[in-house]
Amino acid sequence: MNIWQFGDVRVDRVLEFEQPLLGWQQLFPAATTAAVDRQRAYLEPCWMEPGTGKLVMSFHSFLIRSRGLNILVDTCGGNDKPRPNKSRYHMQQWPYLERLRAAGVAPEEIDFVLCTHLHVDHVGWNTRLVNGRWVPTFPQAKYVFARTEWDYWREHYKTEAFKDDPFYIDSVLPVIDAGQAQFVDSNFAFNDEVALVPTPGHTPGHVCVNIRSKGTECVMTGDMMHHALQVGEPEWSSCFCVDPKQSALSRRGLFERYAGTPTVILPAHFATPTAGTIERAGSTWRYRFQGT
């Protein structure tokens, strides 16, 4: 488990799973062999599997402790979820809640759950299966969703594209039905240390999380980027991006703002050690993982 301290704010990574998962050709439609080869030397073997070219990806939450609040950011894929078209999430039995407790916080002690966006791998632990019913996993929490995000998805989930994968039925609607959802503006602040930042593109209401405390700063980037390859190639949006051009603009904006600064970046899918900083690299940028 990774632990970071930003001033008075503590952040723990709560891991669901980590493994070589997708080929770079699958994840980034615009990627080229030549561009990947330029970054291969520093990415293999920790963040790209030699031989296969599969990208090593992590699925984790971040637990923020700030001003007496326990805030859980993104809830991965979940257990017992029927995902026949997405085998990596299908009927899994991850020891996720045990890992959360190992970080010192029980599900009943979570005050807020934030989903940076409403894709299947960011909402799974919103609920758990109890006596055949999907109930909120965190019974005392408010589940925070950007209003812009929900305005888009509440209609889009009903389209043909989700007929065979209606994950919102088991992972989003039960939270709303339980009265635990809180729809907020995309610049909502939990307190003076933790606030949202709108970063549309991957999805229309995608948000990042900004932490500032005692002169230190951290940004949790959600799926604004999926892999360190995108730092060197910011125009490469993933195959999952709703608006690839806007996604690239959001990435560039973040890189331009934080390149060369000590601000720690915590992406939602970067493999261990996950955290890093943005460096300038000629006309583009590079991700420097902590400890490298």
Whole-number pLDDT of residue 290: 94
pLDDT tens-digit readout, 202-220: 999 999 999 999 999 999 9
d(CA 123, CA 140): 17
pLDDT confidence of residue 1:
61
pLDDT of residue 111: 98
**Average pLDDT for the chain:** 96
Tokens representing residue 81 in the block = 């979820």
Query: What's the pLDDT tens digit per position in 53-65?
Result: 999 999 999 999 9
Q: What is the pLDDT of residue 139?
A: 98
> Using CA atoms, how far apart are residues 45 and 31, in angstroms rounded to an integer?
19
Alpha carbons 143 and 158: distance in angstroms, whole number: 21
Provide the pLDDT for residue 144. Answer: 98
| Percent of the residues in the chain that have a pLDDT greater than 90, as a whole number | 93
Per-residue pLDDT band at 110 (split at 50, 70, 90): very high
Q: How far is CA 42 from CA 37, 220, 225, 273, 279, in A?
A: 10, 23, 18, 14, 14
Give the pLDDT score at 85. 87
pLDDT score at 162: 80
144-to-28, 58, 118, 185 alpha-carbon distances in Å = 29, 23, 11, 10
CATH number of 3-289: 3.60.15.10
Mean pLDDT of 154-163: 84
Instruction: Give pLDDT tens digits for 257-273.
Output: 999 999 999 999 999 99
pLDDT-based confidence at residue 80 (cuts at 50, 70, 90): very high
Q: Mean of the pLDDT values across residues 38-42?
A: 92
pLDDT for 159 equals 85
Answer yes or no: is pLDDT of 106 > 70.
yes
* Digit-coded pLDDT (tens) for 65-77: 999 999 999 999 9
When pLDDT is cut at 50, 70 and 90, the band that residue 164 belongs to is confident
- The bridge status of strand 3-6 relative to strand 9-23 is antiparallel
Lowest-confidence pick of 41-55, 121-135, 148-162, 228-242: 148-162
The pLDDT value recorded for residue 160 is 82
